[in-house]
Amino acid sequence: MCRVTAAFKPLKKVIRQSGCHRSTTRFGRSLRRFGYRRCSSMQGALLVGLGPEGELRSAVRNLPDQLDTVAFLEGPAQIELISDFLQSPEAQQVSTLKIGTSQLYAARRPAEGFDLGKVMSLFKGRHLPNLRSLCLGDMFVLYNSSVRACRIGDITPVFNAAPNLRMLDLCGPFFLTRPVEHAHLQEVSVHVDASSGQEAVISQQTFTNLMMSKLPEVQSLSLLSDATEDVPLDLPTAFDPRAQMPKLTAFEVENLTPESQQRYDALQEVLLVG
């Protein structure tokens, strides 16, 4: 399971919180209505939907002038807020974006549940030129307890919306409606714990579409799941990493059919040789 806390990196510049001109953007106005008291800052990242706590997370009084990392931690219930963000200048600036939940969100048992399907549809027609890292469906861990991923939905629009994306972390069931192309993506990671639910993480059609995608810069691809309803997957016979993913060196997939497992093992030997 990818962790929001683990991926935060200190920014090179200290975030200013004057927020004078930022508060006039569509996202700035939306965030002000949402309430700054429900937000916090952690290692330079803006956490939307998780308030301050002691020295761990500091209070936010204005929308920072410089945004590098934004995390929406009530994702299924923040559709309008995320929509305003994607249509504002801030979306052009951010390099790391996380959309998921927190354990506090889960404890409230929200009516919106854990479905990000409507959120994912917001990426259609959007442009995030500086986005390098995108994490979807993860839960921000506050204490030692069970975690639950979101049902992500259709990730197909992401590949056009983020042309310079380098890392894609998926923490929950998702689907891909067709093979895609992306010139710069380097890592795709899917990992869902058993406690995240019973639903299969990936269907055969989605798996086939992903494996037949043209990802010339991808070096690492992993699909790991402990979900109990996963069905064995067939590795497409037409999959040729030399054609689709020529830089692939780390490839990990669980729950393959016996025949596909044999081809997968043979492929691992080829990747090790380089």
Q: What is the pLDDT of residues 174-219, one digit of tens each?
A: 999 999 999 999 999 998 765 545 456 788 999 999 999 999 999 9
The answer to whether residue 50 is domain-embedded is yes
Q: How far apart, in whole angstroms, are the C-alpha atoms of residue 125 and residue 233?
A: 32
Residue 176, Cα to own-chain centre: how many angstroms? 14
The answer to whether residue 209 is domain-embedded is no
The answer to whether residue 117 is domain-embedded is yes
The answer to whether residue 137 is domain-embedded is yes
The answer to whether residue 114 is domain-embedded is yes
Residue 94, Cα to own-chain centre: how many angstroms? 14
Each as own residue / partner, the long-range contacts of residues 83-87 (CB below 8 Å, 24 or more positions apart, any chain) are 83/122, 84/26, 84/27, 84/29, 84/30, 85/27, 85/30, 86/122, 86/123, 86/126, 86/128, 87/26, 87/27, 87/126
Single-letter code of the amino acid located at 142: L
90 lies in which domain range?
A: 1-148
- List the chain residues with pLDDT less than 70: 1-23, 143-147, 193-200, 227-230, 272-274
Residue 39, Cα to own-chain centre: how many angstroms? 20
The answer to whether residue 225 is domain-embedded is no
Q: Which of 150, 191, 148, 151 is nearest to 168 (CA)?
A: 191
Q: How far apart, in whole angstroms, are the C-alpha atoms of residue 14 and residue 271?
A: 42
Q: How far apart, in whole angstroms, are the C-alpha atoms of residue 93 and residue 96?
A: 9
Q: Are 133 and 93 in contact (CB under 8 A)?
A: no
* Element of type H or E holding 271: helix 258-273
Task: Provide the pLDDT for residue 54.
Answer: 76
Q: Are 148 and 164 in contact (CB under 8 A)?
A: no
Structure tokens at 238: 């037409």
The whole model's pTM is what? 0.89
Q: Total domain count for the chain?
A: 1
The answer to whether residue 20 is domain-embedded is yes
The answer to whether residue 255 is domain-embedded is no
Task: Provide the pLDDT for residue 144.
Answer: 61
